[in-house]
Amino acid sequence: MGKNLIVILGATASGKTHLAARLASELQGEIISADSRQVYRGMDLGTGKDLHQYIIDGRRVPCHLVDILDPSCEFNVYDFQKRFYEVFDQVRKRNRLPVLCGGTGLYLEAVLMSYQMPQAVSDPALTALLSEKTIPELQEILCSYPTQLHNRTDLDDRGRLIRRIEIEAARKNPARPDAQRPVIDPAVFGIRRDRTDLRRRIALRLKERIGQGMIEEVEGLHTNGLSWERLESFGLEYRFIAQYLQDKITKDEMVSLLAIAIGQFAKRQETWFRRMERRGIDITWVDGDDYQTLKDRIMKAMDEETFFTG
């Protein structure tokens, strides 16, 4: 079986979405998003969906795992992995090329390293016990499990902490065997930029999205029923704008703190990608402005390996 998946990863504002969409358009592919927040409907500017970038030469490139849930719903790495496998199979059955694109390292690793993610069967007794715990106590319980699947949101949000513990308990004592998984043989490409250039792009994009109505988007989500606590749990744009709308910080402070936080987030993403390489994932890095080199290297991989086989 030859390569059957292209992965385009990169830090926020690296330009990976446009490159992936252009590539998918030329190679008869379909995008599968690997972004932990873009699954939510109504969270557009804050998550950087940039849906217009999926329109290439007047035609929309199919994109999956975007706008599939209301923001009141929980979504985690187990849910992502399960849905990815389903979409991957569907795309392959159409004889199209799956292109996995995103920057959520945890989600990417779950696919590329075939994490064992058993479904957490509801255990009312466990849930009741965990509900009585403080956040520090829940953090201690989660960190007692031998896993590397913790991200910052898991550790900061009570609901996610409880859900992660339930998943780890299920991993330790699975109620049923994992479903059949598709065999995946990926070609992984990373989009990188000079740090100064990336900071410039982050600042420019933030200014543009505020002008496009990102503050109003967060305000509307709250008006439609999302609590401030829930909005802040999404991090970055939603956390700082929610704080501004609650008069906890000024607008100038919000913009300044948010730009710094996004830059720090991009740095953490890059650190995660380096860790992926240390764990054996081969990533071919390409400059963010060099689409032709990206395409040439992918075409070379396609010449050396047979896509659409198996």
Residue 310 has pLDDT above 50, yes or no: no
Mean of per-residue pLDDT scores for the chain: 89
Given this model, what pLDDT does residue 119 score? 64
- Same-domain check for residues 198 and 275: yes
Q: Are 189 and 6 in contact (CB under 8 A)?
A: yes
83-97, 184-198, 248-262, 293-307 — which is least confidently predicted? 293-307
CATH of the domain at 214: 3.40.50.300
Question: What are 97-141's pLDDT values in tens digits?
Answer: 999 999 999 999 999 999 876 665 567 777 878 888 888 888 888
| Element at 252 (helix H, strand E) | helix 251-278
CA–CA dist 235, 224 (Å, integer):
19
Is the residue at 59 inside a domain?
Answer: yes
- Same-domain check for residues 90 and 197: yes
What one-letter code names the amino acid at 16? K
Question: What are 23-64's pLDDT values in tens digits?
Answer: 999 999 999 999 999 999 999 999 999 999 999 999 999 999
Residue 283 has pLDDT above 80, yes or no: yes
Is the residue at 134 inside a domain?
Answer: yes
Q: Comparing C-alpha atoms, which of 139, 86, 101, 103 is closest to residue 23?
A: 101
Q: Are 32 and 98 in contact (CB under 8 A)?
A: yes
Given this model, what pLDDT does residue 308 score? 45
- Same-domain check for residues 90 and 225: yes
Task: Find the domain containing 126 and state its range.
Answer: 118-177
Given this model, what pLDDT does residue 179 score? 54
Which residues, at least 6 apart from 215, have a Cβ–Cβ distance to it below 8 Å?
Answer: 241, 244, 245
Q: Are 91 and 30 in contact (CB under 8 A)?
A: yes
Q: Comparing C-alpha atoms, which of 236, 235, 241, 238 is closest to residue 254?
A: 241
pTM, two decimals, is 0.83
CA-based torsion, 131, 35, 52, 207: positive or negative: positive
The CA-based angle 182-270-86, given to 5 degrees, is 20
